[in-house]
A and B are shown apart, each in its own frame.
Chain A
């Protein structure tokens, strides 16, 4: 008769090796995944009565109701227009600058580049209050332009930091080789430099778009109540609405662009883009 030692049972062996990992996994599923899942379930629930673990009645009824609300039909185009405009403006303002930071020599470069990092030292919400006081005087509060400016501010760090690192990483020898074989500087830029920095630029644009799409503080303090975005109209819907589905559905609308980010999550992580601009 063979003796079965406890460690020879595959499951036990697996647990001994991965025990801590499994505990982390369970803990994080409870703490992080389940709250997110709650939103998904509410968005597709018609009835969900305690103590049922899952909705008792499923359906898309509330989607029609939510998306046809007047405030949402006004806020959604605003949100999209703002995100597109702010991302484009941010790129136009920051990309030439990040090229200069990476490739040109000038006095005070290091200090100017660091000044972007120093903006991290300000609490955003307090800062926007201070800016709102100034915007009051210029009659920018409650205007589309005011929201564009404040959201643009929010994007500068990322749009400078990621592309600067990317332009610095370009292999100069390749560019010089291109010039040697008679390509014009413009051709070299388009055919050699740009493809090499493209992943980083794409990451910066994507992150900027998504961040702006769910930017809340600036839109709330500068835009409301005239220029409403989806996150801003969600406050009253979450706080005083007896119907939880509204908040859930709008959460998913807001989350939609992030799904694209999630698809690239691994690359964003490996490229260091998720911690770009914090001085790590």
Chain B
């Protein structure tokens, strides 16, 4: 349907052929700049100015940091994100290593299952985990089959901070495994074999050969997961406690339930600023690689 527009331009240096590429890329570029970069920048600037005088002012931030609920939410969200990241790497790192060095049918099965959450809609994941881990859910039921006493001692993470951590890890496993595997694929088997030949032990191979090669994948997985976990809404809202709330839940309530768009905007900008710390690392890592590749 777009065939005629995407015709290769004739090899003339006409004015049309210099303008054509820009015409073709303009629509998505305008959307990205107009609806992502511009609103983010505009919101940031607006939170820093007084609405009436237009002068520089930190009043909105003072208000945010003077409010106990908001500050608790911020700390809670950072905590949740870091805990989830820790759990995520504890699971995904060995999993990716296992998948890299095994090609058996079991390994294929393991890989397929580890990718499953990627195909599950976010809200379905939340629902599935609720039904699985809540009191008298399927998990407790299975424990009951082993021992009813054990089931009585079951501590459900549902509507607790642990529930959020479990949900966020669950959703992030496929992406993280794929990213780490992509890093491990650059690893040459011959390199490891020759290291073994000269007597290197596993620990040496892991720290001196595997880890340095994976630096970039680890960095990307860390940054992107931090950003998505920090800004998550569905999982914290459905699996987490009523209080404290994560920033995502707080923002939504402020905007829609309390109808306070200005306060919601301040909260959003604060999440931008925190995410921009890791966002910059990500941007640098990605653009550095593109420049290197050319």
Contacts and interface: CB of A to CB of B under 8 A. Distances in A.
Interface of A: 17-18, 20-22, 24-25, 28-29, 31-39, 41-42, 50-53, 91-97, 99-101, 103-106, 109-110, 112, 114-127, 129-134, 136, 149, 152-153, 156, 159-160, 185-186, 189-190, 194, 213-214, 216-217, 220-221, 224, 231, 234-235, 238-239, 244, 247-248, 251, 254-255, 258, 261-262, 265, 269, 274-275, 278-280
A-B pairs, top 4 by smallest CB distance, nearest first, are: A123-B231, A121-B279, A214-B121, A279-B286
Contact of A114 (B151, B231, B280, B287): B287
Given A132-B255, A244-B131, A127 B119 contact: no
B127 A125 contact: no
B104 A18 contact: yes
B98 A124 contact: no
Contact of A92 (B2, B4, B286): B2
B261 A132 contact: yes
Nearest to B216: A280
Contacts of A96: 2, 5-6, 24
Contact of B286 (A109, A117, A126): A117
Main secondary structure of the interface of B (DSSP, over half): helix
B144 to A, nearest CB: 4
Given A123-B272, A244-B131, A279-B220, A261 B119 contact: yes
Interface stretch (B39-47, B53-61, B66-74): B39-47
B265 A130 contact: yes
Contacts of A41: 138
Contact of B227 (A35, A120, A129): A120
A96 B283 CA distance: 25
Given A20-B98, A53-B141, A251-B123, A221 B35 contact: no
A36 B279 contact: no
A190 B128 CA distance: 45
Contact of B35 (A42, A131, A279): A131
Interface in B128-152: 128-133, 136-142, 144-145, 148, 151
B200 interface: no
Contacts of A119: 32, 36
B255 A51 contact: no
Interface stretch (B188-196, B202-210, B232-240): B232-240
A72 B28 CA distance: 33
Given A120-B227, A156-B28, A50 B136 contact: yes
A50 B145 CA distance: 11
Interface of B: 1-9, 18, 20-22, 24-29, 31-33, 35-37, 39-40, 42-43, 95, 98, 102, 104, 106-107, 109-110, 112-133, 136-142, 144-145, 148, 151, 170, 173-175, 178-179, 182-183, 217, 220, 223-224, 227-228, 230-234, 237-238, 247-248, 251-252, 255-256, 261, 264-265, 267-269, 271-272, 275-276, 278-280, 282-283, 285-287, 289-291
Contacts of B272: 122-123, 126-127, 130
Given A118-B283, A123-B272, A216-B234, A94 B123 contact: no
A144 B276 CA distance: 31
Q: Which of B6, B217, B230 has the most CB of A within 10 A?
A: B6
B268 A126 contact: yes
7 contacts: A93-B31, A104-B24, A134-B39, A220-B233, A251-B128, A265-B119, A274-B115
Given A127-B39, A129-B251, 14 more contacts: A25-B113, A37-B138, A52-B141, A92-B1, A100-B24, A110-B290, A116-B32, A119-B36, A121-B227, A123-B230, A123-B231, A129-B264, A269-B178, A280-B183
A26 to B, nearest CB: 10
Given A133-B265, A156-B32, A21 B25 contact: no
Contact of A130 (B43, B104, B118): B43
Contact of A36 (B20, B122, B128): B128
B265 A129 contact: yes
Nearest to B131: A38
Contacts of B123: 214, 216, 231, 234-235, 238, 251, 254
A142 to B, nearest CB: 11
B269 A275 contact: no
Contacts of A114: 286-287, 290
